[in-house]
Structure 1
Amino acid sequence: MKRREFMRTAGGSAAAATAVAAGSGTAAAQEEEPDWGGFLDGIDGGYEDARGQDEVTVEVGASGNDGNLAYSPAGLWIDPGTTVVFEWTGQGGEHNVVARSGPADLDSELLEAEGETYEHTFEEEGITEYVCTPHENLGMVGAVAVGDVDTVEVTAGGGAWPENMADIGVPLQKHFLGIITFLAIGMSLVFTFYVLKYGESPNTGRGQ
């Protein structure tokens, strides 16, 4: 391979890798989510932005927290006047919905049978934190944000590897983008050093 061809190839590879890194950075977009103040950290059940809906269902006894000990979604953002229907799955034993803090007065009975429900219409803005009293220590907690609340920016998809391995790469965290960029620069430097030190390949003719 001629020196010029080699340099063009190296430059193209580095540029392509950098472009991939830049594109991946765009894919890792920032989204706005209510500031739960750490209450939902490490809690199973997920989060849903349900603003614009008049009624939303939360599963009680959903899979999570090493058993059927989760609310799903555990984090919920709604508009004032939205009715939330807490529906029991029939799994994980007796559960209830009891407010720990916030404007909403949640206080259901202990229920167990599948299909039983407890409804509450959230009128006041703010964040209400609630728990299942028998399983609070096992992580069965949830929160409902209503209307205009404090928010934080989070990486789309939570910044973690997706459950579906076919989706790996989107989104990517910043440190992965940095690694890709440094690898691209390193490849370019290695190629350049090789060409400068050894010149053209001994297997290539020199008459051209």
Structure 2
Amino acid sequence: MRTVNTKDNGACWRYSVGLYKFGPEFRTSMNRREFVRTAGGVAGASAAASATGAAVAQEEEGGDGGSSGGPPDYGDWLSSVSNFDGETVDATGQDSATVEVGTQANGGAFGFGPPAIHVDNGATVQFEWTGEGGRHNVVSEGEGPLDSGSAVETTGVEYEHTFEEDGIYPYYCVPHESLNMKGAIVVGTDYATAGGGSGGEGGGVETLDPEEAGVPIQPHWVGIGAGLAMVVSTIFTFYLLKYGESANTKGGNN
């Protein structure tokens, strides 16, 4: 590093090439060696950042195939049920839960209450008749396990079932199916969700897929960006070293 003497308003100043104070202001100058170190650092930082981005992109692309969680997917099964507001009653952590048969819904006592409930695997669901709305029964949609038999008009617990497999179990009342007397039971943690995939432990926070947000991350583009940043940095460094030497780096003692 050179030391240069100069004068300003009759006063002598001594400064070193690099960062120096001249008069009331600070100015900067840079010799070639310092510039090479700085430019090299910038190029290295760009490459490191790009490599990190590529690693993140590969992790996003590879993934572990896990579920994003979300609300249970009932399809259109409960879409016309008047007492279903989109909420699933959480009855997990209990050995048993109760669903009323013949609650006020769908224009009369033609509903299940609650229409959607979530229980643990191994829990027992008891169906309790209210005695209103005429004869009712509980039958699974498709080949499910629920079947209380013939419709009856009674009060109290008339039917119960213990669930031993995870999933979503839709059911209905045969005499009042046309009135949308329907319900659904969610069991365990492995079930279809509205966001795709299956439910997770404890109903974890739903995460957003970058591709769903409209910003796909492509590893090869990240690599191209890293290479381009290094090439541009190298060309810029060469140009300044060859043609752009500052006047502050020249001269010696005056």
TM-score normalised per structure 1: 0.55
Cα distance in 2, alignment partners of residues 79 and 50 from structure 1: 8
1:109 deviation in Å?
Answer: 3.0
Cα distance in 1, alignment partners of residues 146 and 97 from structure 2: 17
Quick check: 1:79–1:146 contact (8 Å CA) kept in 2?
A: yes
- 1:94 counterpart = 2:132: no
* CA offsets 1:139-170 (integer angstroms, 9 cap, x no match): 101111111212237xxxxxxxxxxxxxxxxx
Question: Which of structures 1 and 2 has the bigger CA Rg?
Answer: 2
Quick check: 1:106–1:130 contact (8 Å CA) kept in 2?
A: no
1:32 deviation in Å?
Answer: 3.8
Equivalent in the alignment of 2:145: 104
Q: Which runs of 5+ in 2 are unaligned?
A: 1-68, 196-254
% identical aligned pairs: 46
Cα distance in 1, alignment partners of residues 104 and 158 from structure 2: 18
Cα distance in 1, alignment partners of residues 183 and 171 from structure 2: 5
Shift of the 85–45 alpha-carbon distance from structure 1 to 2, 3 Å rule, reads: farther
Equivalent in the alignment of 2:82: 44
1:103 deviation in Å?
Answer: 4.2
Cα distance in 2, alignment partners of residues 83 and 146 from structure 1: 10
Q: Which runs of 5+ in 1 are unaligned?
A: 1-30, 154-208
Amino acid at match of 2:163: F
Q: With CA pairs under 8 Å and 6+ residues apart, which has the higher RCO, 1 or 2?
A: 1
Shift of the 107–63 alpha-carbon distance from structure 1 to 2, 3 Å rule, reads: same
Equivalent in the alignment of 1:120: 161
- 1:151 counterpart = 2:193: yes
RMSD of aligned C-alpha atoms?
Answer: 1.8
Quick check: 1:68–1:92 contact (8 Å CA) kept in 2?
A: yes
Q: Match of 2:176, SS?
A: helix
Equivalent in the alignment of 1:61: 102
Cα distance in 2, alignment partners of residues 69 and 78 from structure 1: 23
Cα distance in 1, alignment partners of residues 106 and 129 from structure 2: 16
